[in-house]
């Protein structure tokens, strides 16, 4: 299953997304995530292991969407995790291993995603 990373561009989309009844990870980046990038490959890897009913991963370009960045109080690359309209965590950076760690920690409470991310996630779901 190959799913493109979703992105949002308006404050209304931001508010609608964070109110979801599933976990939502917002990846604030300094630029657009290019097709074929390592981050996109990691996203595809994650979405093959996790049902979309459980998790959304969305990118937001800091430079192109300053209003969303302001509302979310984000000034640099970072990942925010939301559930039911509440921010439950913030993590600096958006590197692929960091994205795997955030997903593992969010869904399974795992401390280290390097111990076989896909196996750990699949065994918990």
Do 46 and 102 contact (CB within 8 A), yes or no? no
pLDDT at 117: 47
pLDDT at 34 exceeding the cut of 80: no
Alpha-carbon span 92 to 28, nearest angstrom: 10
Q: What does the pLDDT look like over 82-114, one tens digit per residue?
A: 888 888 888 888 777 777 777 777 777 644 444
Query: How large a percentage of the chain has pLDDT more than 90?
Result: 9
Tokens of 71: 């509302």
Mean of the per-residue pLDDT values of the chain: 74
Give the strand pairing for 23-29 and 6-7: unpaired
DSSP reduced 3-state for 12? helix
* Strand blocks (E) in 55-109: 55-61, 78-83, 86-92
Sheet containing 86-92, strands listed edge to edge, beginning at the edge strand earlier in sequence = 6-7, 55-61, 23-29, 78-83, 86-92
Over residues 43-89, the pLDDT tens digits come to 777 767 776 777 888 888 888 889 999 999 999 988 888 888 888 88
Pick from 97, 15, 113: which is nearest to 58 by CA? 15
pTM over 0.75: no
């Amino acid at each position: 299953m190959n799913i493109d990373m979703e992105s949002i561009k308006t404050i209304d989309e931001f508010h609608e997304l964070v109110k979801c009844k599933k976990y939502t990870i917002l990846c604030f980046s300094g630029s657009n995530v290019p097709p074929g990038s390592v981050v996109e490959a990691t996203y595809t890897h994650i979405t093959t292991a996790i049902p979309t009913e459980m998790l959304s991963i969305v990118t937001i370009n800091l430079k192109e969407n300053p209003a969303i960045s302001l509302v979310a109080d984000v000034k640099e690359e970072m990942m925010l995790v939301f559930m039911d309209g509440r921010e439950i965590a913030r993590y600096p950076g958006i590197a692929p291993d960091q994205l795997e760690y955030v997903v593992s920690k969010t869904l399974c409470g795992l401390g280290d995603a390097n111990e076989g991310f896909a196996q750990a996630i699949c065994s918990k779901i």
